[in-house]
Every structure is written in C-alpha cells, then in structure tokens.
Amino acid sequence: MQTTPQTTSSPLGHDHLRPGYHFLPRANWMNDPNGLIHWQGVYHLFYQYNPHGPFWGTIHWGHASSRDLVNWQHHPIALTPGPESYDQDGCWSGCAVDDAGTPTMLYTGKLHDQEMVCVARADARFDMLHKHPANPVIAQPPPGVATVGFRDPCVWREDGQWQMLLGSGIRGQGGAILRYTSPDLIHWEYQQPLCVGDGSLGDMWECPNFFALGDRHVLLVSILPQETVLAAIGTYHQGIFVPETWQRLDGGMAFYAPQVLRDQAQRQLCFAWLKEERDLPAQSAAGWAGVMSLPRTITMGDAMNLEIEPALELAQLRLNERTITRHLSQGERVMLPTSQHGQWEVELLAEPSAGTLTLAIEENGTALATVEVDLVRCVTRLCAPDGGAQEWLPFTLTPGMPLRLRCFFDRSVLECFVQGQASLTKRIYPHSQASTRPTLTYAGGLSDSLPLEVHVWDMLNATFDEIPTSHP
Ligand code: DQQ
C-alpha cells in the first residue's frame, strides 16, 4: 500500500523539488509530449528527451505508458537520431495515428537548418519505432511559400484521406499552419494554409493541434517569440479554419507545447511540457529538467469557452481529507493545513461575492507565487516575485453556483484551475517543503467576510516503474 510520501525516489537521490505525482523521466531533459495514443486500453506517452543530460539537445523520443493516466511505466527510448541521416540533429515533435491497426508516428526530422516530416511505425510490443524507408516523406516546405519553421505534424483521417498540419509562419505576415493531404501517410500533397495569423499573435506557430469540439473546431498553437499557448475556437470548412475567438490556454509561462489525445472514452485529453523556471546551474545540479503537466480534459463551455479540468483519475492519489468551513474576513490571513511533504491538492468553494480572493504559496511568510481571483471582473492571474504579474484570464460565474478553485502542488509544480475555465501553471522552488504553505486572503469586498468551504488532501506518489523484461 502506498503511504504519504516522505521522499521522492529517484536514481539521482533525494530531491525535495522533484515531483512525486507528475510524470518525468528518471533523469535528464524532457520537453514536448509527443505521439499520444490510447491503444488497446493503454495510454502511450512519448516525449522529447535528451539522454545525455539535463539540457536541451540531441533530442530523442522517450516513451512511457499507463492504464490510468496517473501511474506510469518507463519504456526504452523509442526514437534515436540517425547518424548522417535526415534526423541526425534530432527527432523533434510529432503525433501518432492508427493506420489500419498499426500505431504510426509522424515526427520532425532535423538536419542542420532543415525540418522534414518522417514516419515511424510501432512494433507489436509498442517498444521500438521503426523508421520508414521512404523517409523523409516531406523533405522541404512547399515551393513559393516563404516559411518560418516547418515542423510538428498533427495528423488525422477525414473523408477517406489523411490530413496533416504543420507548424510554420509566413515571413512578413505571421504564424501559419500549413495543410497537406495523403492517401497513405507516405505521399503528401500540399493544399493551402489552414489558418494564417496577422503577426499580432506571433511570427511562428509550433506544435499545432486541431480537433472538433461541440459544434466548433479548436486549434491550439504554441507561439513564438511569446512562448505562450493559444487556443482558437472557430469553424472549419473545406480545409480552411476561421477563428472566432482566441484565448490563452494557460495563464503561466511554464506551460508549453501541449498535445491532445481523444481517448477510447471520447475524452479530449491534453498534456503539456512544464518548463523549468530556475537557472541552468540549478537544473544541472538537479540532474533533471522539465515535467509533464497533469492530464487535463478539455470540453466546450456554454459560453463557447474552453473548460479545462484535471482528469478524474487523479482522485486516486488523494489521502487524509481535511474540510474547513469558515468565513474569511477582510484583512485576515488563513494558512491551509497542507502536507509537509509538498504534495497536496486544495479545492476551495466560495460564495460569489465582490472583492478579490488571493491564494499565495508562502515560504516562511514570503510569497513564492500568488493566484488572484477578482470576483467582480471575473478574471484571474498568476503573480510571482520573479516573473511579475501575468495577464488576466477571464472566467464566468454561473448564478447560484459557488466559485471553485482547485490547486495541485507537487514539490516544484503548481497547477491551478479557476472555475474549470482558466488554468494557471507555475514552477516554484521552495527551500524546504515543511515551511511552505498556501494561505488565503480576501480584500476589497462590500461584505466583511467571504464564506468558504475548503477541502485539503495530501497527494500520494504516483508509481513510475520500469517496463518488465518479459512483456505480456
Ligand atoms: N520543441 C521541439 C520542436 C517544437 C518545439 C524540439 C516546441 O519540434 O517545435 O524539441 O517546444
């Protein structure tokens, strides 16, 4: 039986900042989630991985699998850059599709300045990916298009043919997503851009994801040079996407390069790379860098807004529930009784009211990060002493329903969900977990106090096992 975590086990030794229930490799560098697929009841998660150290470079595809999105098994490296080959400088990001019963990956081969589309197919055990002899299946951008970047394929099947999007930009114009079609995943024909920005939303769009949600389509892009993630909701017709609204997918700077997956229960799930927000010497000393976000579900809200919630499976990690029902007075500061081991979840329900509710993660009274919820304007943002204030994200309150704030803390990862609509993610690095606590304050309201119900849980370690040598 699992118990409350005392330490986080790692081949690197005890590390009070190493997450216990977020996925990360045993050591070294990871970035984008890749090739997400739910295959015969098992979730497969590939990711950008550098086996040579806790820094970006020599990018391989790492691989893990899970039956419940929470507990993972590490698999052998799935893709390695080939010597003197089209992917010698890295196997960059890409996706997975089911090609008539064969899990098939489309990824970015990197050779000097060139970015190319490549194909790899899984073997029966889903361990090795075999690179296709026809690689690269697209060797260069379409002629006559002045592209800025050409990478990160997103592929699906529609009307009897394969569709592929590539992240790009059009010089002098803005971020762009290019669309190709194919009968067989090997022979591709360029069609036209799915969507082109006007420059105000970045020069280059990386890691596109495109999917139907409700009666609309959603396009996710990770934009450069801003390094934020945007979601556009709009309509898709005859290969063209017309955005109606744009929003930030997460209000923090740690959250980047998300990838979505429609699972066998038809949930639209999402993982993202959570970057480090500490300096390189600290990453180097730790021996690891980068963490995967918690799995999140994305649904369409009533106001044609995206709703983002942590996956229900995470509830299996909860332990020792404490419930606090009280009024929070203006000017009062309430410290929540979270675990001393730095792994907890807090769910807070508050009567809708005027004023601003603030949850701060404090170490010995100093805020490492704060989440501000403005109940009048219905906006929320992250603030940090180092990174300043991030932009306000909107949410809506349903009449008669409480405000709901959920926060997950995992040693150096903070993920908050406001009203299941705005997510705020940040990395923070306390000196000691025992002296780090969330505190609540309330200010500026018309009434003297805010009625609250708060639930606090310790969060167990998830399990991260090696794949057994005799695989069934
Ligand atoms: N990371 C990959 C690229 C992608 C970028 C390289 C986004 O394929 O555009 O590691 O973080």
Q: pLDDT digit string (tens) for 387-410?
A: 777 899 999 998 888 999 999 999
What's this model's pTM, rounded to 2 decimal places?
Answer: 0.95
Question: Residue range 296-302: average pLDDT?
Answer: 96
On average, the pLDDT of the chain sits at 94
List, in sequence order, every beta strand (DSSP E) within 301-402.
306-310, 318-329, 333-335, 343-350, 356-363, 366-374, 379-384, 388-389, 393-394
Going by pLDDT thresholds of 50, 70 and 90, the confidence category of residue 231 is very high
Going by pLDDT thresholds of 50, 70 and 90, the confidence category of residue 468 is low
Going by pLDDT thresholds of 50, 70 and 90, the confidence category of residue 294 is very high
Question: Residue range 345-359: average pLDDT?
Answer: 93
Distance CA 308, CA 421 (A): 5
Lookup result for tokens 């349903």 = 398
pLDDT at 11: 64
Query: What is the atom index within ligand 1 of the atom nearest the CA of 151?
Result: 8
Lookup result for tokens 């993202």 = 272
CA 441 from chain center: how many Å? Answer: 29
Respond yes or no: is residue 32 known to be catalytic: yes
- Report which of 373, 335, 327 is spatially closest to residue 354, judged by C-alpha positions: 373
Q: What is the Cα gyration radius of the chain?
A: 22
Task: Give me the sheet containing 129-131, strands edge to edge.
Answer: 91-99, 102-111, 114-122, 129-131
Going by pLDDT thresholds of 50, 70 and 90, the confidence category of residue 10 is low
Q: pLDDT, tens digit, for every residue of 417-465?
A: 999 999 999 999 999 999 999 999 999 877 889 999 999 999 999 999 9
Give the three-class secondary structure for 163: strand
pLDDT at 90: 98
What is the DSSP secondary-structure string of 413-437?
A: EEEEEETTTEEEEEE---S-STTEE
Query: What is the atom index within ligand 1 of the atom nearest the CA of 152?
Result: 8
Mutate to test the pocket of ligand 1, among 89, 91, 92, 227 (most ligand atoms within 8 A of CB): 92
Residue 457's identity, in one-letter code, is W
Rounded distance from Cα 128 to ligand 1 centre (Å): 21
Going by pLDDT thresholds of 50, 70 and 90, the confidence category of residue 234 is very high
Rounded distance from Cα 245 to ligand 1 centre (Å): 25
Burial (0-12, 13-18, 19+ Cβ within 10 Å), 74:
middle
Pocket lined around ligand 1, Cβ cut-off 6 Å = 31-32, 48, 59, 92-93, 108, 151-152, 206-207, 222, 256-257
Catalytic residue among 32, 152, 250, 410: 32
pLDDT at 470: 45
pLDDT at 472: 36
How many Cβ atoms sit within 10 Å of the Cβ of residue 383?
A: 17
Count CA atoms within 13 Å of residue 470 on its CB side: 0
- Beta partners for residue 235, in sequence order: 242
Distance CA 392, CA 361 (A): 19
